[in-house]
Amino acid sequence: MKRQRRSAIDPAVASLVTEGERRQRRRRLPRAQQAKARRDAARQRATYDIPKEVARAVAEVAKEEGVSASAVAALLLAEGLRRLEVGEVSLHGLKEPSRSPKYDWQVPTRAVLEVLKGDRTLLVRK
Amino acid sequence: MITIAIANQKGGTGKTTTAVTLAHRLAMDGYRVLLVDTDVQGHVATALGLDKAPGIYRLVQWYQNLGDLLVIPARENLDIIPSDKTTEPAKRILASMDFRERILADALEELAEEYDVAVIDCAPSVDVLHVAALVAADWLVVPTKLDYLAVDGVNEVLASLAEIKRRSSATPDLLGVLPTFFDRQTNETLVQLKTLVNAFGRHVLPPIPVDTRLREAPAYGQTIWEYAPRSRSVVGVVNGNGTVVGGYAQFVARVKERL
């Protein structure tokens, strides 16, 4: 039987204490660093697995436009998500059944690279 | 019937608000609830938009076989035994009686068929009714402000609880210490929250954020579920990682885990 470790404190209370300690540390910083710490706290960091060709393409666009790679990734994701929302693009046709117990479907790297090269598209044909 | 006492010997920690809010939510969720006010101020009735009445005085008379209990319907599924200034002489009468600390336990036994849950709002004092409430209770909730004196009051009420457990067959357990008036902008709040966590560990419940709406609700004779059900004292505060923490909705959920 799998043993589950009991938490010594309520998880909601634990998260409040952690957050409070973070705020307290931030308040002790010099004023200029406080603003940076606040910006950092408001920022969401996420890790996604993407093919290196896509990462390289993002870096090239960033260099060309003189902005950060994060900004390019955020903008293109936002645009893609908006298009997905209004039905202009779809993942349909790129998905294949997955063997993973976590997911029903997978999108193979090959398909992502084909989209990058323009050989395939997410565009929905009307 | 499960009995929950809301107690702290320190005044102004949110006992009545917590008792009324918990009782009304459980009633809204279909539990048959009896809310007993043992505080001479009689604010349970006021908070529910009703007149104060001598419910505790009548309880003492009932205990002497001199009359019936006074139980007033307050909301659907929610009845109250109210209190008023006559609670003070009632306590004096009670003090001279045998088995006085059993008065609430016996009354609730009498009413056990009619209710699923009894919530007892205790007065901020150590008197005969306070002891009677702890003797009658299955669970104890201790609301506390996050300041030094209020946190010290938690220790006092838990000392009373230990004493009652030692001297009687009653076995009330600590359901939790409930931090109220939670204001995360101040350092003292965090210091006292950590003090509570170090002392009481998993018994510290997610806190109730300070909220003007909660103070306004009794003026309209409404509970927070009626007056401002989406206020932050109900839904909690958003933490840095985006999770919502605290509030009466989460508190009621924690209580329902024990019912």
Interface test with B, best of A13, A15, A17 (most B CBs within 10 A): A13
Answer yes or no: is pLDDT of A5 > 60.
no
Q: What is the pLDDT of residues B211-231, one digit of tens each?
A: 999 999 999 999 999 999 999
What Å distances lie between residue B249 and A122, B26, B29, B216, CA to CA?
A: 43, 11, 12, 18
**pLDDT tier, A53 (very low <50, low <70, confident <90, very high otherwise):** very high
What is the percent of chain B where pLDDT is above 90? 63
Chain A nearest-CA distance from B138, in A, is 21
- B239 contacts on A by Cβ (under 8 Å): 15-16, 19
Helix (H) or strand (E) holding B50: none
Please tell me the predicted confidence (pLDDT) of residue A126. 63
Nearest to B6 by CA among B194, B223, B174: B174
Q: A97-123 burial string, b = 16+ CB within 10 Å, else e?
A: eeeeeeeeeeeeeebeeebeeeeeebe
Tokens 């007065």 label which residue? B123
Domains of chain B with bracketed CATH: 2-256 (3.40.50.300)
Please tell me the predicted confidence (pLDDT) of residue B115. 95
Cβ pair B202:A8 closer than 8 A:
yes
Nearest to B30 by CA among B67, B77, B71: B77
Q: Is the dihedral of CA B177, B145, B157, B256 positive or negative?
A: negative
Question: Rounded CA gap, B101 and B122, in Å?
Answer: 14
- B208 contacts on A by Cβ (under 8 Å): none
Q: What is the pLDDT of residues B166-180, one digit of tens each?
A: 777 767 889 999 999
Question: Rounded CA gap, B224 and B247, in Å?
Answer: 11
CA B151 to chain centre: 17
Answer yes or no: is pLDDT of B160 > 90.
no
Cβ pair A7:B202 closer than 8 A:
yes
Please tell me the predicted confidence (pLDDT) of residue A1. 58
**pLDDT tier, B155 (very low <50, low <70, confident <90, very high otherwise):** confident
What Å distances lie between residue A65 and A43, A61, A69, B52, CA to CA?
A: 22, 6, 10, 72
For chain A, which residues lie within 8 Å of any Cβ of chain B, measuring from their own Cβ?
A: 6-10, 12-17, 19-24, 27, 41
| Residue, of A33 and A42, whose pLDDT is higher | A33
Long-range CB contacts for residues A45-48, cutoff 8 Å, separation at least 24: none
Give the ipTM: 0.77
Question: Rounded CA gap, A22 and A94, in Å?
Answer: 43
Please tell me the predicted confidence (pLDDT) of residue B211. 94
Question: Rounded CA gap, A98 and A77, in Å?
Answer: 24
Answer yes or no: is pLDDT of B204 > 90.
yes
Structure tokens, B91: 């306590």
- A24 contacts on B by Cβ (under 8 Å): 187, 190
